[in-house]
Structure 1
Amino acid sequence: MKKIILLSIFIIGVIGVANLYWFYQGDSELNLVDFEVNKSLSVANVDHVQIISPVGTVQIVQSEGDQIQVKMKGKTTKKTENNYELDIQESDGQASIEVKKTKGNLFDLYTEYDLIVKVPETEFTQFQVHTESASVEMNNVSSNKYVLKTVTGDMNINVVQGSFDIRTDTGEILLELEQIIDDIVGKSVTGDIIIKSQQPPEALQIDFDTDTGEEVINIPSYITGKGPIIKLSSNTGDLELVSK
């Protein structure tokens, strides 16, 4: 019995040394490799965009042309480089952009990537982004309505105007607008929520709800009981509504 145990330990040791050797030679399945996937889609018939990505950072910016251009770029191991798929398709006026985990473990500790989405200068009816542990950055994208949700990521949104439904559990929300003309709903469990408006609104209905955070409203005089509804809530985070 003792000989069997010693033999097992010896075999495990040999395998470990071999794996370590191949790792330093760059031939191990655990060696990190760069990957990049590029896809595009025409926006000729698109009025609704939906983006789904589990991890990483989602960057959405305006671009020229008539194509939605998507790039997924990052690092992963040789063993898991084929575990992710970038799926883009259009159906009934909706462009769907999704990073799918095709195989492997649900949680991948080695893979990290950025999803960069470039959209043409056009106004969409609705723009949706859903992530798990990914932050969302959006600049100069035009839509009537924005629905943005993440579990642990931050939201950094800089657009002209629109109605918003923004939710995160532990992340922070920063929303910068030229003007407030539609309702805004923002929810975070522990993060701060900050809304900045370049043009002071003439009328607003403000509904703030926080347990331990601070409430800051710093805008010129406005008419209450009329205008867009600003509804922000966070258990422990601060809530701010200010003019730039």
Structure 2
Amino acid sequence: MNKVEAIVLRTVDYGETHKILTLYSAQMGKIAALARGAKKPRSDLAAVCQPFTYGTFLLYIGERQGMGTISQAEVLDSFRAIREDLFKAAYASYVAELTDRFCADREPSPSLFLLLQTVLHYLTDEDKDPEVLVRLYETKMLDLAGIRPELYHCAHCFRPVETSIRFSILHGGPLCGACHQSDERAVWMKPVTLKLMQTFQGMDVRRLGQTRVGDDVKRQLNKILRQYLDEYSGVQFRSRGFLDQLHKYEI
């Protein structure tokens, strides 16, 4: 038996009464686990089988390292406030999907677990901007995926760059003044946008204060990080489409 603290990234119905959970824990990394009878109305596991729930799980895992089986579980934090807010739930779903898609099975990372837990906690805080939180999380996940952009040197001539008004997806980074024309499709951005991206790369998320970011900068961050992820990760995110719809119709 293994006792782990984990966050539920995803749930899938299995048969008439069971659920398969994708968990992320500091001790074991990403794990798939079967919750038998979790769909039954009086199941002891029902409460812990909700997306984003943080709990303690007692798992049986066979020698072949296949899917685990949950024998007991206890909720430590339900993050109920996230599920009760459509926008917050959409942002949390995207954060969970980023984690699920970029993390290999059974590769523990206590720092990533802390990052995930902290971002979910901040999503319940009315003083934290969920869009800024998600942009920060995307930036951190680029490291995990091995596609972190170099933000301190020009992506074309490789000279140090302190400020830039264009970001090249083609070259994978900011362009200095002399190289702005090297990529006609480069994305325009304010110098503060580059500074914020640099800050996000090295920031301990627990130190995130009352960061106020203008709408124009948030739009630039979203455009740059989305195009960069699409170009270099090769992953299509289902939850991102739902977020787009929410913003489009201002639901």
Give the TM-score taking structure 1 as reference length: 0.26
Larger Rg: 1
Which structure's residues are more often helix, by fraction?
A: 2
**TM-score, length-scaled by structure 2:** 0.25
More strand by proportion, 1 or 2? 1
